[in-house]
Amino acid sequence: MSGLTRPDLDALPNYVPGRTVPGAIKLASNEVPYGPLPGVVEAIAEAAADTHRYPDMGVVALREALAERYGVDPDRIATGCGSVALAEHLARVTCMPGDEMLYSWRSFEAYPIIAATAAAASVKVPNTPEHGHDLPAMAAAVTDRTRLVLVCNPNNPTGTAIRRPELEAFLDAVPENVLVVIDEAYREFVTDPQVPDGLEIAGDRPNVVVLRTLSKAWGLAGLRVGFLVAPPEVAAAVRKIVTPFSTSSTAQAAALAALRQAEEMQRRADQVVAERERLVPALRKLGADVPESQANFVWLPLGDGATEFAAACERAGVIVRPFAGDGVRVTVGTPEENDTFLAAAEAALA
């Protein structure tokens, strides 16, 4: 150690991306299994002709398109290099060193890294035995140092989702000077009508932000486009500190093209959901205690067997995402990919 970098970063876990192995089926990063939506590649090609120019830093056209689709004012929207970057920006606009960032655990693995890079203290409230958020315990864990609360709905990696009364009660319980982020990266895969749309539940609440991404159902993971809908003051703060030009011109063009294909996006998401509903009972039949999922992945709580299960799947040509000592997250793929995975799972769980 040379002392050139902050000592507190040494203890930080690395973000582990889903592995890509040539020739293998990748069910490790919660991507959709189809190619880009129609018109997206053409839009990228067209935008690429202007690559020598900087993108629109205000992201005006895209923010307006998002505003129209989601029925909010463009002032409430900020875009970023993936929603993960926006979560980081939210930590930076809310937390001073030593302040607390509160979230359920296990949840999205970027959260502890985001807290640490903002020099905030992570306060992790354990998931319920059913692998969901323990919102009453989270509300009780709010202190006068809490600046930011992250609620992942549906939760990555467990797929569990919070229902309306619980979420509303939680939002009512959190003081208005604490920002609550509802991370809805997987919103398009939600089918339970009792799981509320964060945008609706946020309404005019002064301290609620909804985080969305175009990486999952919209199929733009490689281009890195996320957005948030926030109270105007918070959105403006994020736009102020965002790395300049971080939503590239190709990303903006592709996002606009994707948004024009909303129906096709939802049709594809519905296919993924149909496969999810096939996978969950099939895995339960094999003995895995899989919780109901509202996302495009399923969670196998295999405890100490997680790493070996993932290795067995990999030997069978399927890459899944193990969380050592805890469980395995498997992204829903095409019907054929899921069949290959189920065969591997059957052998591994036998």
The residue among 30 and 160 lying less far from ligand PMP, judged by its C-beta, is 30
Number of helices followed by number of strands (H, E) in the chain:
12, 12
* Binding-site member from 65, 152, 167, 235 for ligand PMP (CB under 6 A): 152
Task: Assess 221 for contact with ligand PMP (CB under 6 A).
Answer: yes
Shortest spacing between CB 259 and ligand PMP, in angstroms? 15
| Shortest reach from residue 85's CB to ligand PMP, in Å | 7
Q: Report if residue 40 touches ligand PMP, rule: CB under 6 A.
A: no
Q: Which residues of 309-343 are buried (b: 16+ CB within 10 A; e: fewer)?
A: bbebbbebebbbbbbeebbbbbbbbbeebbebbbe
DSSP classification of residue 9: G
- Report the residue number, 300 or 348, with the smaller CB distance to ligand PMP: 300
CB 160 to ligand PMP: min, Å: 12
CA 36 centroid distance within chain: 19
Q: Which is nearer to ligand PMP, 120 or 251 (CB)?
A: 251
Paired with 125 in beta bridges are: 104
The reply to whether 293 sits near ligand PMP by the rule CB under 6 A is no
Amino acid at site 56? D
292 is an interface residue for ligand PMP by CB under 6 A: no
Shortest separation between residue 315's beta carbon and ligand PMP, angstroms: 25
Distance (Å, rounded) from C-alpha 145 to C-alpha 209? Answer: 19
Return the number of the residue (82 or 305) whose C-beta is nearest ligand PMP: 82
Q: Does residue 127 bind ligand PMP (CB under 6 A)?
A: no
Closer residue to ligand PMP, CB minimum distance, 156 or 160: 156
Pair of tokens at residue 184:
């809805």
Q: How far is the CB of 152 from ligand PMP (least distance, A)?
A: 5
156 lies in the site for ligand PMP, by CB under 6 A: yes
Nearer to ligand PMP, 208 or 342 (CB): 208
* Contact call for residue 185 and ligand PMP (CB under 6 A): yes
What is the rounded distance in angstroms from the CA atom of residue 248 to the CA atom of residue 250? 5
Site string for ligand PMP, 47-86 (x = CB under 6 A): -----------------------------------xxx--
Check residue 226 for interaction with ligand PMP (CB under 6 A). yes
User: How does strand 321-323 pair with strand 318-319?
Assistant: unpaired
Q: What DSSP state is assigned to residue 17?
A: P
Q: What is the Cα–Cα distance from 133 to 147, expressed in whole angstroms?
A: 19
Q: Which pair of tokens denotes residue 6?
A: 């902050």
Crossing angle of helices 110-117 and 83-94, rounded to 10°: 40
Whole-number minimum distance, CB 6 to ligand PMP, in Å? Answer: 23
Q: Would you list the DSSP string of 159-186? A: -----HHHHHHHHHHS-TTSEEEEE-TT
Q: Which residues bind ligand PMP (CB under 6 A)?
A: 30, 82-84, 108, 152, 156, 183, 185, 213, 215, 221, 226
